[in-house]
Amino acid sequence: MTNRLFFRELFSKGLARTLTGQALAFAIALALGAVIILMIDESPVAVFLTLMRGAFGDTEKIAGTLLQTTPILICGIAACIALRGGMFNVGIEGQLFLGGFAAAWVGFAFSLPPVLHVLAAMTLAVIAGALWIAIPAFFRVRFGTNEVVSTILANYIATLLTSYFTIFLFKRPGGWSETPPILTSAYLPELFSFSRLNIGLLIGLALAVGVTAFFRWTSAGYAATMVGSAPKFAEYGGVNVRRVGFGVLLVSGAVGGLAGGVETLGVHHRFMEGFAPGFGFDGLIAALLANGSPIGTIFTALFFGALRAGSLLLEVDTTASREIITVIQALIILAVSADLMMPRRGDRTGERRWKF
């Protein structure tokens, strides 16, 4: 899907059509979402207004929205990188958990000078994320083992493994299932006094710009894009398809780990079981919704962040469950994936990418 869309945008008589298509898809998804909200005996309008109020009601709420946006954005960029290389990294959730734990461990187990401490913790988070995807990535490029399934399965192991570390090895005495708090020298600086919003958001924005620039203006970025969209062409042009594919997945995993580090050092200041539920998946669908464009992901991540922040109020003010936003997100992805404005091709066998 993604690549088809890239190309249409490139040879663009299609950009306008893409945008109309996306808008139509959104409308359909929201209509379906309204039907489901009616099914659970709530008023769609009330739910929508509550979501908006929860997301943008006052400055604190807006900061809360941005706080939720941060991990989704960074995870989304991780997904974008893999998508550009023609692969799905569905394991961002796992990389996020391991990265988060690694950063927290550096945070509470060592004492270092302030800036260095953050850098060390972040570095280990990045390494943990990259290492966690290294084995699936190796088998993907060497033997063509489907990376979607291997990274999903790795998620479950990562979650259980970090829970094991937290509860059996590093549990805070007398606490719940969480590690000791990290030292203040490892805290990410906060942006405002009234919110836990931190420079993680700026890291995410910088990454989005950096990754876009990398893919647009460097030859390595061009090689990676070609490996994703036209591997045979890339190979013919002398690109080492395997090495580039491996590198792309590794970097994607590293960014996933970074997202975990930002979350523990910036928000929770410790690692706890289930500290970041679903951020990895939200990031992936934000990236899909943005057609794999990191800049577009900023906006889709903001949208999902707003939904998440709004859903907190939803749980308080209405009887609806906050998971209703997951339903809306999934419906949007389904509607967008149908790509309604795309003229159907005549041949029915068609080419399908991402086959195993």
Which residues contribute to the site for other proteins (CB under 8 A)?
A: 1-2, 36, 39-41, 88, 90, 135, 139, 142-146, 148-150, 152-154, 156-157, 160-161, 163-164, 167-168, 232, 235, 238-242, 281, 284-285, 288, 319-321, 323-327, 329-331, 333-334, 337-340, 342, 344-345, 348-350, 352-356
The residue written with tokens 């061009």 in the block is 222
Tokens describing residue 336? 């967008």
Could you tell me the smallest distance in angstroms from the CB atom of residue 150 to other proteins? Answer: 6
Beta partners for residue 198, in sequence order: 190
Is the Cβ–Cβ distance between 23 and 347 less than 8 Å?
Answer: no
Instruction: Tell me how far, at minimum, the Cβ of 138 lies from other proteins, in Å.
Output: 9
Burial of residue 333 (number of CB atoms within 10 Å: 0-12, 13-18, 19+) = middle
CB of residue 353 vs other proteins: minimum separation in angstroms? 8
Smallest distance, other proteins to C-beta of residue 180, A: 19
Distance separating alpha carbons of residues 334 and 289, to the nearest angstrom: 10
* Alpha-carbon gap, residue 112 to 32, rounded angstroms: 52
Nearest distance from C-beta of residue 325 to other proteins, angstroms: 8
- Beta carbon of residue 26, minimum distance to other proteins (angstroms, whole number): 14
Measured from the CB atom, the residue of 4 and 196 that comes closer to other proteins is 4
Q: What burial letters (b/e) apply to 283-299, b meaning 16+ CB within 10 Å?
A: bbbbbbbbbbbbebbbe
Residues 6+ away with beta carbon under 8 Å from 76:
282, 283, 284, 286, 287, 290, 294, 297, 300, 301
Judged by beta carbon, residue 2 or residue 70, the one nearer other proteins is: 2
In the complex, minimum distance from the CB of residue 161 to other proteins, in angstroms, rounded to a whole number:
7
Closer of 63 and 246 to other proteins (Cβ):
246
Which one, 70 or 89, has the nearer CB to other proteins? 89
> CA–CA separation, 108 vs 119, rounded Å?
14
Contacts of 214 (CB under 8 A, 6+ apart): 220, 221
Cβ distance to other proteins smaller for residue 95 or 198: 95
Closer to other proteins by Cβ: residue 122 or 272: 272
CB of 116 to other proteins, least distance (A): 32
Take residue 94 and report the two structure tokens written for it: 């796992």
User: Coil, strand or helix: which one is 171?
Assistant: coil
Give the number of other Cβ atoms within 10 Å of residue 163's Cβ.
17
For residue 141, the minimal CB distance to other proteins (Å) is 9
Residue 261 to residue 269: CA distance in whole angstroms:
10
Q: For residue 272, which amino acid is it?
A: M
Contacts of 152 (CB under 8 A, 6+ apart): 90, 91
